[in-house]
A and B are shown apart, each in its own frame.
Chain A
């Protein structure tokens, strides 16, 4: 190891690190460690001059390994790996010591923080000595795409991809396309007809030469990895095998079932209907009670199943504006009716929505606010002398009064929840669900379309409740990402994977049972485990489970980890010199 020449760079991060860590002293001290050829401190290592400093030093001082002690590797590891590549070094000959998040930001004693920075860097130096050159690998991308779900998101993405000449398999569990959006009459806030917008898209999808729609079908099994997936689809009991390079999950939503809320008497009172049932009423062109009368008093109850600890904590996002849409439609159809909106908070979030609220507040609508925490409205049967059917009792928040609201027809604005089979589909394609059972995106801010499984994208309401424009935006974004991948022809895959030493493998298959990515298979002939490097994420689970030590996790070898720990444990630099 004597020939190794390591360059160490200590970043100030402006004052972020320098305020709590004596960076100059750290650089001076770590320079004394064995194999350290050069140690420098610099204001901003991530800046262009900072990176240039590394490139120059590699060339001038013949450095073969680099340690940068700065922020979290999540932020800048790739930046510095790139710098190494630019200088002609293998990018894996690099290690980062996090002295910001793990040190300066969380300590209050400068001396201790400085000592900790030295320990962290010492660990990184010890580790980087054992780093090995790793080669990036790329795989070809199959140009077809699988889309699960034929709702507005699924068909939008399908058309987008198919129009560019690439093949799309669209699997739909029912026998029609359009999903939830196709069951709507008008859409908020501009009152466009959903049918007029969606039917042409459905027609185009059905007739597109590049789209193969598989009705009444479900995804049974999926194998493979980004660029090279293979699926088994069950269509009416018939097994179909298809191959493709990317997947879009667009399984959409299910409406909340309000019969679990006793207060609302859904199922008990015939004229308490869900928003979906009311939508059918609007499509049929008649707003009538079950008895066939024109309702005089129409009450709309918001947040049914949403924003309530007992049901779903989240906001379903569409119901407030849909309720305002109903008010406008009822107001036009039955101008002499009285409309009551019992709401918890009016959320007019999107383009044109606040305007819709203002417009609606000028109509024959009474807005009544309730506090879900203090008690929800209760629907009761009106007495015989009243000339309406039901009475809604509620504590009105803004007036502080207990009030009764007459109603002939009650519309429950039911919330949105996960599809019944969300979990199974998630497991099959290898994506997970959040606490609210919506699919988790790769990054909630920076990458809301991709998932942690490469080649799998989530769009529409299966990721979180969405309105039509947001679903289409996300669908088209996923389509663009997939087309970019297809266009490139190949994708780079993770190289920090696990590797089986066949001589040491005893064939116990422990690794296969623990692998979360189904990346390990068993070679029956050789009786050893084989890692599919494309599927492997390098999580290391198999490596630690292997009883014989036959599995090595590249870039996380035992030697590297143990050396790093050794480096960390140095009590002082004087001690080490002895």
Chain B
């Protein structure tokens, strides 16, 4: 089936990142220099072509953007300054929006104002709830604890899982991937391991420190999630859990702070262009770690009763994060990146089975 060339997609895509890629004349340097590109999946040149021509169907079924870790080699070696790395980044944002079924991600990605309004509304709602609880910190903490729990369940089942199913539909079913059944099983174990480690990053040069910072933030964030939500960090008397909480909370805000600094300094290709959603993601992660750390600290030094506002702010940040930034923002790359490797392996297995590789 032939696809229709769509010039409007180009305009649409340029809202998700820089649009230098228009100037690409397909010399293929980017593909040649990329450490991750393999015979089975060549990128980024072909993806740039799809973007230039506005082949929406091809782009939506293309998992390649998620396989790129943005080392920046392609953009540095590009003779036309077409910035292929930034296109892959923009496409990840675009695909995040396309996989998301409610359309809210699209709204927040394209309109900074609507995201800010939503954040403010959530903050007002938390304030209103605190008001109904007469600004009693114990009652609010009790409420907050169950809110966190239900938020996780709801966001996962209503938004994230359906989105993953959509991603599967676009990249496997619609792309007519015919993988043997065994590859679905064998790939799954790799998927789980990869989700938490992102070991593919090591195929790229110069990425070790970045990987380490990322790994510490991810493990810190996940541990903090488990410790606060499931081990009740703010309510527990167990000294081990309390100390673990301090360590993980500290990890999160210290390393996110480092990541914020590097985005500000624009020291790498990756950091040269930051979309508003990048900033919200990383700043809220930082604030979450910081306020959690302070809340527990205030409990331990017995100051929280007189500083009710601290927990209220923490709850506002957590709710904004869980309700807006996780389902409709950059957080989802945690899932898409891992599943993209899974789906890509299915595609390769399918092609091998058909003897096309």
How far is it, in angstroms, between the C-alpha of A346 and the C-alpha of B53 when the chains are bound? Answer: 17
Contact A406 B53 (CB under 8 A): no
A367, closest chain B residue (CB): B52
How far is it, in angstroms, between the C-alpha of A368 and the C-alpha of B52 when the chains are bound? Answer: 9
B248 within 8 A of A: no
Partner of A398 from B2, B49, B58 at Cβ < 8 Å:
B49
How far is it, in angstroms, between the C-alpha of A257 and the C-alpha of B20 when the chains are bound? Answer: 39
A357, closest chain B residue (CB): B25
How far is it, in angstroms, between the C-alpha of A401 and the C-alpha of B47 when the chains are bound? Answer: 12
Give the Cβ gap from A367 to chain B, nearest Cβ, in Å: 7
State which of A282-290, A358-366, A437-445, A480-488 sits at the interface with chain B.
A358-366
How far is it, in angstroms, between the C-alpha of A358 and the C-alpha of B82 when the chains are bound? Answer: 11
- Beyond A361-B23, A398-B49, whether A366 also contacts B2 by CB under 8 A is no
A297, closest chain B residue (CB): B7
- Beyond A364-B7, A404-B2, whether A399 also contacts B23 by CB under 8 A is no
Given the complex, which residues of B lie within 8 Å of A364, measured CB to CB?
A: 7
- Beyond A402-B3, A404-B2, whether A368 also contacts B25 by CB under 8 A is no
Q: Mark B1-21, 1 if CB is under 8 A from A, else 0.
A: 111110100100000000000
- Beyond A361-B22, A361-B23, A362-B22, whether A399 also contacts B5 by CB under 8 A is no
How far is it, in angstroms, between the C-alpha of A367 and the C-alpha of B5 when the chains are bound? Answer: 11
How far is it, in angstroms, between the C-alpha of A346 and the C-alpha of B27 when the chains are bound? Answer: 13
Give the Cβ gap from A478 to chain B, nearest Cβ, in Å: 38
Given the complex, which residues of A lie within 8 Å of B25, measured CB to CB?
A: 346, 361, 367
Given the complex, which residues of B lie within 8 Å of A340, measured CB to CB?
A: 5, 7
How far is it, in angstroms, between the C-alpha of A398 and the C-alpha of B54 when the chains are bound? Answer: 13
A405 within 8 A of B: yes
A393 within 8 A of B: yes
B82, closest chain A residue (CB): A361
Q: Mark A335-375, 1 if CB is under 8 A from B, else 0.
A: 00010100000100000000000100110101111000000
Give the Cβ gap from A391 to chain B, nearest Cβ, in Å: 8
Contact A403 B26 (CB under 8 A): no
Q: Mark A464-485, 1 if CB is under 8 A from B, else 0.
A: 0000000000000000000000
Contact B5 A405 (CB under 8 A): yes
Contact B7 A399 (CB under 8 A): no
A396 within 8 A of B: yes
How far is it, in angstroms, between the C-alpha of A125 and the C-alpha of B26 when the chains are bound? Answer: 63
- Beyond A399-B55, A401-B55, whether A366 also contacts B23 by CB under 8 A is no
Given the complex, which residues of A lie within 8 Å of B26, measured CB to CB?
A: 369, 398
How far is it, in angstroms, between the C-alpha of A403 and the C-alpha of B54 when the chains are bound? Answer: 10
Contact B5 A403 (CB under 8 A): yes
Given the complex, which residues of B lie within 8 Å of A405, measured CB to CB?
A: 4-5
Partner of B5 from A346, A358, A366, A369 at Cβ < 8 Å:
A366
B46 within 8 A of A: yes
- Beyond A338-B7, A405-B5, whether A399 also contacts B22 by CB under 8 A is no
Give the Cβ gap from B318 to chain A, nearest Cβ, in Å: 45
Give the Cβ gap from B52 to chain A, nearest Cβ, in Å: 6
Given the complex, which residues of A lie within 8 Å of B5, measured CB to CB?
A: 340, 366, 368, 403-406
B50 within 8 A of A: yes
Given the complex, which residues of B lie within 8 Å of A361, measured CB to CB?
A: 22-23, 25
Given the complex, which residues of A lie within 8 Å of B2, measured CB to CB?
A: 393, 401-404
Query: Which residues of chain B from 260 to 277 have any CB-CB distance to chain A below 8 Å in the complex?
Result: none
Given the complex, which residues of B lie within 8 Å of A403, measured CB to CB?
A: 2-5, 53, 55
A364, closest chain B residue (CB): B7
Give the Cβ gap from B147 to chain A, nearest Cβ, in Å: 48
A299, closest chain B residue (CB): B5
Contact A399 B50 (CB under 8 A): yes
B47, closest chain A residue (CB): A399
How far is it, in angstroms, between the C-alpha of A405 and the C-alpha of B53 when the chains are bound? Answer: 10
How far is it, in angstroms, between the C-alpha of A155 and the C-alpha of B59 when the chains are bound? Answer: 55
Contact B53 A399 (CB under 8 A): yes
Output the residue of A400, A401, A404 with the most chain B CB within 10 A.
A401
B57, closest chain A residue (CB): A401
A337, closest chain B residue (CB): B7
B23, closest chain A residue (CB): A361
Give the Cβ gap from A575 to chain B, nearest Cβ, in Å: 67
Give the Cβ gap from B29 to chain A, nearest Cβ, in Å: 14
Query: Which residues of chain B from 63 to 122 have any CB-CB distance to chain A below 8 Å in the complex?
Result: 80
How far is it, in angstroms, between the C-alpha of A404 and the C-alpha of B55 when the chains are bound? Answer: 10
How far is it, in angstroms, between the C-alpha of A367 and the C-alpha of B54 when the chains are bound? Answer: 11
Q: Which residues of B contact A (CB under 8 A)?
A: 1-5, 7, 10, 22-23, 25-26, 46, 49-50, 52-55, 58, 80
Q: Which residues of A contact B (CB under 8 A)?
A: 338, 340, 346, 358, 361-362, 364, 366-369, 393, 396, 398-406
Please, could you name 12 A-B residue pairs with CB atoms under 8 Å apart, sorted by A? A362-B22, A362-B23, A366-B5, A366-B7, A366-B10, A366-B52, A368-B5, A399-B46, A400-B46, A401-B3, A404-B2, A404-B4
